[in-house]
Chain A
């Protein structure tokens, strides 16, 4: 089910502004890859380009290739909507739909696309997704309550359940814990460990301990200066990046000398 991603020579633009330049990276399947780097280095932009979410911003476009199982996401006949169905995303701030119950939130991907489902099938999907997100025990008695009534950490897990309910191949996470308290953060980190048995996970994080704890591979992004495009400096196994990076900038960042 999970798939790997091959990115070659990817440039990302906002209008005429080149935001990220020349990224080449392979993201292995069924593992966790973390993107780290200082603010504004383009790691979130790059993440959003992996499921064509950055196109939501007017004027944003890319050149280069993003191959998932040999298919170019930016191919002429690719529908971005289908790309996003295949590659799910979890955002920085939990964003459950305020007008929907917990149950409907989990099924949002199906319901919003008016997909017909049998009741039993829907129930199974909800339970499976909530179990995968580690939320089932906490909410199984109040599935008809509004999703916005949950705590921040629960809301974020609800969003993860919502993302996995459409059975994507890849899960992108954009700083999923930055708005959460330490306990919720550790719950989500454990969850990421479990999810990687089924999904390819890419996570952007500001928190280097978190990258070290959850990821198998790490990619370090940096930018040369203000107004310059962000670049992928170095990527590799997490242990190597954190203990013995090739690039001095990576080492400086990891040791906390800047950023």
Chain B
């Protein structure tokens, strides 16, 4: 055997064996770049619309899987096809995001002025007026919802993690929190209405009702976030406190909560960001008014999303000014939501416990 090995007729060429039937590395990049250039040129030339240019550019990238099938064979070609499909899916998902942000900024941006932020819609017909009353309503109702839901959510999470220990009550709470997560927002609004009707009679519209509806939506998010964070606190810290003769409640308040606080703040902020854009429940229970209302417990209260909805859906005649205000309000709403998200991320980034493992 060894002798035959020694006189191998032609040396096995590993390099060419591995490189044969393989598109050179530059080919995929070249095809993608070429397709992009063609698309951009078409769009710039104005011969076709932007949407058509994107579509044409995308169609051209299919040259890659086709070339691959010719040169590399079926398996490689389907691999490249899937890569193209998957990347296209991601690109496709970016289109609505880009178009929404672009539209809201370009249409809403010009609306932002001192008057827009400081005037209500009282006695405004046609142009002018602003979102002051809606800003006030949004802040008050969301703040009230937060005040209602954070204690309930936090204490429930404390019960689940520190006291429940998988007993029957804690299992059913976990299940019902899951159910609550799935409550459609409009149903939460109907619930608040059905609750307040009993005390105040038919046709009731109250800011606090909106807060109750939002709290129903917020509580499960807060419970989940807090529960996750409390579970992350190592048990060793609780034991260390117990061993120092610290009662359980002080351990929870002074060791567990401070350790988890940045995560809890992040979770609550994200929950606020989720509900601050809610429209449907507030449409039902908080209603719409053109005036500023600072009292959660009497009369209707406009919020930004409801204001946006009515401005656009029922703009009146002529519609332009109202629709423009709708875009402006939408921009303000998006800015608030994005800021809340940024704050949440910043909190979790900067304020997690020092020297965390």
Contacts and interface: CB of A to CB of B under 8 A. Distances in A.
A149 B258 CA distance: 18
B246 A113 contact: yes
B245 A95 contact: no
Contacts of A166: 244-245
Contacts of A85: 244-245
Interface stretch (A20-28, A38-46, A86-94, A233-241): A86-94
Nearest to A84: B245
Contacts of B244: 84-85, 88, 108-109, 112, 162-163, 166
Nearest to B246: A112
A223 interface: no
Contact of B245 (A82, A91, A114, A146): A82
Interface string B333-357: 0000000000000000000011111
A97 B234 CA distance: 10
Contacts of B236: 91, 93, 95
B355 A112 contact: no
Nearest to B243: A89
Interface in A29-63: 51, 53, 56, 58
Interface string B187-225: 000000000000000000000000000000000000000
Contact of B240 (A51, A97, A148): A97
- Most A Cβ at <10 Å: residue of B165, B239, B240: B240
Contacts of A53: 239, 242-243
Contacts of B234: 95
A79 B240 CA distance: 18
B259 A113 contact: no
B254 interface: yes
Question: Would you call the interface of chain B mostly helix, strand, loop, or mixed?
Answer: helix
Contacts of A109: 244-246
Interface string A97-110: 11100000000110
A88 B238 CA distance: 14
A148 B243 contact: no
A80 B238 CA distance: 15
A200 B240 CA distance: 19
B98 interface: no
A146 B243 contact: no
Q: Which 4 A-B pairs have the closest CB atoms?
A: A85-B245, A148-B355, A89-B243, A109-B244
